[in-house]
Chains A and B, each alone.
Chain A
Amino acid sequence: MLRVFAPDRRIVLLVSALVLIALSILYFKVHVLKFTLLPSPETELWLLECRVKFETPGGPVRASISMPEEVPGYFLTGVSTTPGFRFDSEERDGRLIANWSGTADGGTHTILYQMRLIPDRHAGRIADPIEPVRKPVWSDGITAAAAEAFLKQLDPGGRAKPEVLIPRVLKELHNRNLPSVRTLLPENRQGAHFVRIAGKLLAMRGIPSRLVEGIYLVDGRRRQMLSAQLEAFYGNRIHRFDPLTGKLRTADGFLPLRNGDTSLLEIQGVRNPKFHISVLKTSVTAANLNQLRGSLVRHSWILDLSGFNLPLEEQNLFKQIAMLPLAILVIVIIRNLIGLQTMGTFMPVLISLAFLDTGLTAGIISFVLIISIGLLIRSCLTKLNLLMVPRISAVVILVILLMKIMSVIAYTFGFTHGQAVTYFPLIILAWTIERSSMIWEEDGPRVAVRQLLVSLLACLPCYLLMSNATLQCFFFSFPEMNLIVLALILLIGVYTGYRLTELKRFRPLVLPCSEKF
């Protein structure tokens, strides 16, 4: 029967090894690093910009910003965009510490720190536990008495449940008509101080709580100040309350940045520092998101190999190259499984690469124009009896001039993609002209035009694959998929069965021998 594949053991081993490696890396990225496999093309991405403005008489300056590594729903990663200071960052106790140091001239300076929030539903799930209640210490007997009186008024029996008591405490603490409130908060201060007093009151009733400070994720909110909130522990969970309204809050875009005594900013050698956080929402392709996720994990050789540590510009270059193996696979299929001959093995790949820049319609029109005018000129050159290398060189130069003229014409008539012509690979075009003109002379125009058409047709699947946004994104995030492409090509390399065109070509052999002869 059909012996279609004749793979020896080495090929089988190699192919399975390649597939296995590719799949393990894929598994690692999806299940451990939480890469998005087949995502919606755009995802929202929050940017936090921390801005520290300060004055200095001149001299050494040292500043550090401490941010959590993860918050509920997000991982954080930061980059400094401040020139003039030495910058480094470290991770300590679950926090990202960014350090700046240097000598500043006298005057006003600004340190900028840009943080990106990378969505991940597993991030920040486990919150720091709230410490058990300690007996609150009041500054004097009068305050202590006022606290007792305040609580007695709200909850005479002392049996109110935390979910009832906490909102009531927060709300009544705003009521300046109560003498006890005036004693507890003589200066009517809000924010962190207010939350601390409320926490002390709750501790008297045995409810553990703490102060958290953070910001709200609201698009375009410039210069946010830290907002203080109260977190209390009951019913085996941490609950967060807004001290202004006393209401329980969930899923309101609040981003806790610190609790307890951690300080966000430490700065030395300056006067009058001001710290602001701006929030900005941008969108990002899933590929970029995977790229961000990749940059988050340090010291992973798999990601080092994937190129996520390269500068952005080089990564973008890699995006197109990452798609090339797919186009090459198409050529292998067209030649070895379908059995069509293209003009030059990888010419269609290179032409379709040019189509990516020019767009399909403009690309095809330019290609057909250049080749036909080139053939016309080439036929004139034939009569001059030139040696081969000078002749091909002449064709190359003529193609350059042709491109220039086409750009000018396209520009004059207002087709902006005129310049796109320059994306075509010059030498490939010149060789294509040379080869087709030779085939034209030897095998006739029909064969030449047919081969050109087949080559152009082969460009289409290459172009469609390479221009596909989902595939682009997929192959960029998972370049190891190219190992699978390689495995497929190796398998085709040992395919000894019939090509599609051979089924037609050799059909007479399965029909009865012609009677005519």
Chain B
Amino acid sequence: MLGKILKQFASPSALARAGVLSMNRRNRDFIMKYNLRRYYPMVDDKLRTKTLAEQFGVPVAPLIGAIRCQYEVKQFENMIRNRSGGFVIKPGHGSGGRGILVIRRHSGNSFEKNDGTLLDRVQIHRVITDILSGLYSLGGQVDYALLEECIDFSDVFRNYSYQGIPDVRVIVFRGYPVMAMIRLATKQSDGRANLHQGAVGIGLSLRNGVPRMAVQFNQPVSRHPDTGVPLRDLRVPFWKEHLELAARCADMIQLGYFGADIVLDRKRGPLLLELNARPGLAIQIANHAGLAARLERIEQLDPASHPTPEERVAFAREQFA
């Protein structure tokens, strides 16, 4: 009985040998040490991230507009009236994919959600009102709603995701990409790309973006649970561009340790979706590799050894296959 329970746990020393980064160490040795609190708004405020990205030439999904006050809520129709494509409403300070509404198509008073359900104008108003009242923002502070163009996601991922858009998460440390995975939405994750909600995470080799292994709820899987396609065959085009985009983000925000979420648009190529100052640790399971060893390797480097994003990406692809 006791042995059975103990078998479900790894020994701390074995985890340490595998170079697994613990939550406590991530917080103390990396986030607290390399991410100064005053730079957080750059990533927590999506509008600021977007503006910065445009300044630094990092491609992002085009902005439609922002709604800051309750009386502006009804203006959202003016914003989207002349747009035929889909759009996304998201909270400016949201996290974990909360409060994001993806409208695929719209005509008149009918808005088709990502999962096919139809919403009317009043329901959209309610979503925006909720965002403004701070329902999805950290600490519940007053928020604004962001409208941006829907990403026209690339056909290469067609059967790899249920409703949501697959996104590539790259952990960047001191400007070097150190680990990457692609997250696929499932029925269980309700179309969202969060691993703890049941999305599938596929660890990607930094060298070429080839899948290493896939997990759902920390358990290995080989096929997408909803579409049944073998995950091994997934390929991420423009892999080098993905990594260089992530590495370039380090120049635009002053954070030493962050996660960059990148989506692939059919026409525009890799786009920065958002940045995260506290990226999760599940990426280690998806990669079957520990982060600690890689982070320590970067820590030992002379900060001036690879000045450009391209050099840092080349180094990382060489080191962390």
A189 an interface residue at 8 Å Cβ cutoff?
Answer: no
A1-B16, A389-B133, A506-B284 are known; give 9 further A-B pairs, CB within 8 A: A4-B12, A339-B23, A497-B22, A498-B16, A506-B10, A508-B215, A509-B288, A514-B288, A517-B220
Q: A385, A442, A508: which contacts B285 (Cβ < 8 A)?
A: A508
Cα(A495)–Cα(B24), bound, Å: 7
* Nearest-neighbor residue (CB-CB) of A392 within chain B: B140
Contact B197 A443 (CB under 8 A): yes
Q: B28, B214, B231, B284: which contacts A6 (Cβ < 8 A)?
A: B28
Cα(A516)–Cα(B135), bound, Å: 42
Q: B11, B129, B134, B222: which contacts A516 (Cβ < 8 A)?
A: B222
Contact A517 B133 (CB under 8 A): no
B154 an interface residue at 8 Å Cβ cutoff?
Answer: no
Q: Within residues 310 to 351 of chain A, which ones have a CB less than 8 A from any CB in chain B?
A: 336, 339
Cα(A68)–Cα(B294), bound, Å: 76
Contact B29 A2 (CB under 8 A): no
A397 an interface residue at 8 Å Cβ cutoff?
Answer: no
Contact A508 B23 (CB under 8 A): no
* Nearest-neighbor residue (CB-CB) of A514 within chain B: B220
Q: Within residues 270 to 321 of chain B, which ones have a CB less than 8 A from any CB in chain A?
A: 281, 284-285, 288-290
Given A385-B129, A389-B133; A497-B24 close (CB under 8 Å): yes
Most chain A CB within 10 A, of B134, B232, B288, is at B288
B-binding residues in A (CB < 8 A) = 1-4, 6, 336, 339, 385, 387-389, 438, 442-443, 494-500, 502-510, 513-514, 516-517
Contact A385 B9 (CB under 8 A): no
Q: Within residues 5 to 63 of chain B, which ones have a CB less than 8 A from any CB in chain A?
A: 8-18, 20, 22-25, 28-29
Q: Which 3 A-B pairs have the closest CB atoms?
A: A388-B133, A496-B25, A514-B220
Residues on A with beta carbons closer than 8 Å to the beta carbon of B159? none
Tally inter-chain residue pairs, CB-CB below 8 A: 107
Contact B213 A517 (CB under 8 A): yes
B130 an interface residue at 8 Å Cβ cutoff?
Answer: yes
Residues on A with beta carbons closer than 8 Å to the beta carbon of B13? 1-2
Contact A509 B11 (CB under 8 A): no
Given A502-B22, A507-B8, A509-B15; A494-B284 close (CB under 8 Å): no
Shortest beta-carbon distance from A435 to chain B in Å: 10
Residues on A with beta carbons closer than 8 Å to the beta carbon of B281? 506
Contact A388 B16 (CB under 8 A): no
Given A388-B134, A495-B24, A497-B12; A517-B98 close (CB under 8 Å): no
B83 an interface residue at 8 Å Cβ cutoff?
Answer: no
**B 80-120 binary contact with A (CB < 8 Å = 1; else 0):** 00000000000000000010000000000000000000000
Shortest beta-carbon distance from B297 to chain A in Å: 15
Q: A388, A510, A513: which contacts B15 (Cβ < 8 A)?
A: A510
Cα(A186)–Cα(B129), bound, Å: 107
Cα(A1)–Cα(B15), bound, Å: 10
Contact B98 A503 (CB under 8 A): no
Contact B10 A442 (CB under 8 A): no
Q: B20, B135, B222, B232: which contacts A509 (Cβ < 8 A)?
A: B20
Given A1-B13, A1-B16, A497-B22; A509-B220 close (CB under 8 Å): no
Contact B220 A508 (CB under 8 A): yes
Shortest beta-carbon distance from A346 to chain B in Å: 15
* Nearest-neighbor residue (CB-CB) of B17 within chain A: A510
Contact A385 B133 (CB under 8 A): no
Shortest beta-carbon distance from A502 to chain B in Å: 6
Contact A504 B9 (CB under 8 A): yes
B254 an interface residue at 8 Å Cβ cutoff?
Answer: no
Contact B213 A513 (CB under 8 A): yes
Residues on B with beta carbons closer than 8 Å to the beta carbon of A498? 12, 15-16, 20, 22, 24
Q: Within residues 245 to 288 of chain B, which ones have a CB less than 8 A from any CB in chain A?
A: 281, 284-285, 288
Given A2-B13, A509-B20; A387-B129 close (CB under 8 Å): yes
Most chain A CB within 10 A, of B18, B24, B28, B219, is at B24
